[in-house]
Amino acid sequence: MHITVHGTPTLLEGKEMILLREAPAARVSNLDGSQNVIGMIAPSAQLLIAIPSLKTEVCSLGAKKFNDLIKQFKKLKTVMITTDDIEFVNDFVIREGIDKAEVVLDTNRDFAKKYGILISEGKLKDRLARAVFVIDQEGYISYKEVVAEITDEVDYDQCIEAVEKAANFKKKGHDHENWMGV
């Protein structure tokens, strides 16, 4: 898959994600240095936001905008993933009040490779492409957007619409209460 970086075609490394397929588990680092796993099946829907660098205007504005947009969702796990240095990210989270999403580091590029968004060449080599993935409670990718030009923003409206569907997802089949007619 390709994107453009300031108009220059740039190859992405890793396996391209396909809608309605299982989301892979990816190992990332929390800001306290501990390891975490994101993706796959979880108790609630997930919104994974890949951020090339919080040091840029588009990325920092996007992180703040998503932090505001997701406040309405009680059953949603939101994770912002970046490759920036830990000191900068810690300062950014505190300074900008990012409190509705976990911010993690893709130090080994495990997430980038498994989700097919690792920039493999040019001045942004080893950074993440700008992308969002919505994963439903059954662990399937229900929405994805890999932004075609790195300097463009994601389609927030379509992403939030997909989050609403995933966050309000009803599991298939029946549970005991439904069977009893409660």
pLDDT by residue (tens digit) across 128-155? 999 999 999 999 999 999 999 999 999 9
Architecture of domain 2-169: 3-Layer(aba) Sandwich (3.40)
> What are the residue ranges spanned by the domains of the chain?
2-169
Q: Are 100 and 78 in contact (CB under 8 A)?
A: yes
pLDDT at 41: 86
Q: Average pLDDT of the chain?
A: 92
Average pLDDT rounded to a whole number, residues 40-50: 93
- Report the share of the chain in percent with pLDDT over 90: 85
Average pLDDT rounded to a whole number, residues 109-128: 96
pLDDT class for 182, splitting at 50, 70, 90?
Answer: very low
CA within 13 Å, CB half, 117? 29
- d(CA 23, CA 168) in angstroms, rounded, equals 19
- Structure token digits, residue 106: 């893709």
pLDDT class for 171, splitting at 50, 70, 90?
Answer: low
Please give the positions annotated as active site.
59
